[in-house]
Structure 1
């Protein structure tokens, strides 16, 4: 009789011993109730294929770079369900922080330690609020990649960012002279419009970008 197939009374059954490609552990699986040996053979072949090449393993071996995931997310989904200001933020974060480090890297090769170390390295030059915004966008991209089955595991929950400095969370009040210096600094950049709106209306940053 065919390997692993037995007849019990009027029915056929089979047992397979396979190594789980995700856990690297061996396991026995048994199925019974088949009326013919041909039916049992087909079921055994199908189960072997399913257990040794699950979808998560197939997609793991595909080269899907961070750049590919970013552009797919933006062009196929985000442009239809995100605000224009949000898309602008996504583009800025990706261009300035994600693309230079991992744009052409296979997402499955990027570790949570790399991402965490990068966020902590920015604490000397960027505000905690901005660093958190980078982490939030990382979560968006990694969740999307995981849902599309480009990643075996979503590592983003393990990524950590520096805690905000107590001074950073305090309300800051600027003098007119300081605001004038800010305006002079921004006058030659594309931030001048949002700066003036915020200065004269008192709107929060997110509200200002929502108006643009």
Structure 2
């Protein structure tokens, strides 16, 4: 065996032979410290010797953190994440992480490097000299932690130094929603909008904007009044509008009311008229909500119209995405089981639903207590 394992105080280290240096002819050895247990050291040594035998060995000290991040983007993020997520990763890495941490050798990256980076970003991380929000810096931390976790898995590193760093604390912002009367006011104000049924669908189903704009007629079952969420519209830089799987990666079904089904049938009849009038000029993507020529609705145009409708309604402004939160909150307030709400929203677990809508739970608790009291009396 061309390596040894020795204890150094409370930790272990390994020493192994890399053969002769082709330039100097001298024997090269590699020492790696910091293993918490002998078993960890044995595993690492075995992997390194195996890599030397196969000719796949490399020395992590020769790779900078910036070089590794580029490698991670190409080898892991690109094939395993959604396009928009990849764009976000790339932006954080190129605009923030690499300018600050690029030249540090990955093997020498320490917790204090990251802690100082977070502090600096909170103080003056924006291009105008002001600080990034704690939530933004926390996104940076999550990316770094994920990238370094993969580095450990791929044997670039022995440990993930991001685990020894405390990301900034974030305060949960109060969710902005409308009550049932306010939602009625909004929908009444939107009645004359070309996007009225888009707003109605979002309000009545809790679907995300991209899911609503990606809805196809083949995904609408009028016999059973069910919508199947199977794709979403997304806007990708330098590409334009494309379709992707729903955020959770899985399709889901949502029961709809007769009111919404009736409005959707009106849309369907109007599309038939558009197809007849435009003929071959109509782009048939089977979309429920589309421009007059059948092409996808531009999210920016929808956002502009939505803001105008809200202003005309006299209501306080909430985002389009908050129609989804409004839908979920109203259901929970009516006593609908969180599991059902979770399924309608497409959350991967009911825990996400419960954590997101904790503001509703105190009232539900009070109502449950009153109901129990009536039952026993």
TM-score (structure 1 length as normaliser): 0.55
Kindly state the Cα deviation for residue 89 of structure 1 after the two structures are TM-superposed: 1.1
Aligned to 1:41: none
In the alignment, which residue of structure 1 is the partner of 2:147?
141
Residue by residue over 1:131-180, the C-alpha shift from the partner in whole angstroms, topping out at 9 and shown as x without a partner, is 1100000011111111111113221110112222xxx523276xxxxxxx
CA RMSD of aligned residues (A): 4.1
In 2, Cα distance between the equivalents of 1:195 and 1:112? Answer: 45
Q: Is this contact kept in 2: 1:64–1:150, CA < 8 A?
A: no
Distance 2:302 2:164 in 1: 35
Distance of aligned partners of 1:62 and 1:119 in 2 relative to their CA distance in 1, 3 Å threshold: closer
Q: Which runs of 5+ in 2 are unaligned?
A: 19-28, 31-44, 50-56, 124-130, 177-236, 238-298, 307-317, 325-377
Alpha carbons of structure 1 residues 96 and 61: separation in structure 2 relative to 1, 3 Å: closer
Contact 2:109 2:161 (C-alpha < 8 Å) held by counterparts: no
Greater relative contact order (Cα < 8 A, sep 6+):
1
Q: CA deviation at 1:113?
A: 1.0
Question: Contact 2:89 / 2:143 at 8 angstroms: preserved in 1?
Answer: yes
**Residue 129 of structure 1, aligned match among 122, 135, 140:** 135
Q: How much has 1:77 moved relative to structure 2?
A: 2.3
The alignment status of 1:171 with 2:174, answered yes or no, reads: yes
Aligned to 1:176: none
For 1:128 and 1:64, locate their aligned partners in 2 and report how far apart those are by CA, in whole Å.
30
Aligned partner of 2:164 in structure 1 is: 158
Report if the CA contact (8 A) 1:59-1:151 is conserved. no
- Kindly indicate whether the alpha-carbon contact (under 8 Å) linking 2:111 and 2:165 is maintained by their aligned counterparts in 1: yes
Structure 2 length normalisation: TM-score? 0.33
1:47-196 equivalences in 2 (<5 Å)? 54=45, 55=48, 62-124=61-123, 125-164=131-170, 168-171=171-174, 193=300, 196=303
Cα 1:49/1:87, change in 2 over 3 Å: same
Change (3 A) 1:19 1:195: farther
**Structure 1: gaps (5+ residues):** 1-17, 28-47, 174-189, 205-212
SS of 1:169's equivalent in the other structure is: coil
Residues 34-49 of structure 1 aligned to structure 2 (within 5 Å):
none
* C-alpha displacement of 1:84: 0.9
Aligned 8 A contact 1:120 1:161 in 2: no
- Cα 1:129–1:71 change in 2 (3 A) is same
* C-alpha contact 2:61 2:107 (8 A) present in aligned 1: no
Alpha-carbon spacing, 1:59–1:68, altered in 2? closer, same or farther (3 Å) = same
For residues 155-209 of structure 1, the C-alpha deviation after alignment (integer angstroms, 9 at most, x for no partner) is: 1110112222xxx523276xxxxxxxxxxxxxxxx9x9499389445478xxxxx
Give the superposition deviation at 1:103.
1.5
Distance 2:320 2:115 in 1: 37
Runs of 4+ in 1 over 3 A off after TM superposition: 22-25, 58-62, 192-204
